Amino acid sequence: MLNITSIHHIAIICSDYERSKQFYTQILGLEVISEYYRNERDSYKLDLKIGDAQIELFSFPCTPERPSRPEARGLRHLAFQTDDIDKAVEQLKENNIEVEPIRTDELTGKRFTFFADPDLLPLELYEK
């Protein structure tokens, strides 16, 4: 059996690096660990801190779109935990980010909602 103890990172490929960098750092408030430009690949790599894990934000030229709705196979969404979902939703809306109505998880009783990153990657806020 593998001795897996946590998620190390999640990799996201974006279509517009500057727009996505601004979204993840300025709107979601993730901390930049490092940023690289790889000339041979015409690609940026931005490492962002989220708790004990990281998000790797990549840019590549001419990337194909990935279907996400209706439910497609593969990674369904990325969920972020928040202490105050009402405040988080308010801040997203202040940044002109469309947010679905807050719902309650019927299994846990916790509140959650969905929104999307600039490339329409489904993101979830889940209240602690």
Domain assignments of the chain as residue spans, ordered by start? 1-62, 75-128
Phi, psi of 94 (to 5 degrees): -60, -25
Using CA atoms, how far apart are residues 28 and 107, in angstroms rounded to an integer?
A: 27
Whole-angstrom Cα distance, residue 84 to residue 15? 30
* Fold match between domain 1-62 and domain 75-128: yes
Q: What is the pLDDT of residue 2?
A: 85
Rounded to an integer, the average pLDDT of 57-80 is 82
The number of residues in the chain equals 128
Mean pLDDT, residues 20-45: 96
Of the given ranges (62-66, 79-83, 114-118, 121-125), which has the lowest mean pLDDT? 62-66
In contact, 101 and 85? CB cutoff 8 Å = no
Q: DSSP assignment, residue 32?
A: E
Instruction: For strands 53-59 and 111-116, give the pairing.
Output: unpaired
Gap between the Cα atoms of 87 and 78, Å rounded: 19
Q: What's the chain's average pLDDT?
A: 92
Q: Which CATH number fits domain 1-62: 3.40.50.80, 3.40.50.970, 3.10.180.10, 3.40.47.10?
A: 3.10.180.10
CATH value of 75-128 in 3.10.180.10, 3.40.190.10, 3.30.565.10, 3.40.640.10: 3.10.180.10
Signed CA dihedral, 119, 121, 124, 125: sign only: negative
Give the pLDDT mean for 97-109: 96
* pLDDT bracket for residue 69 (50, 70, 90): low
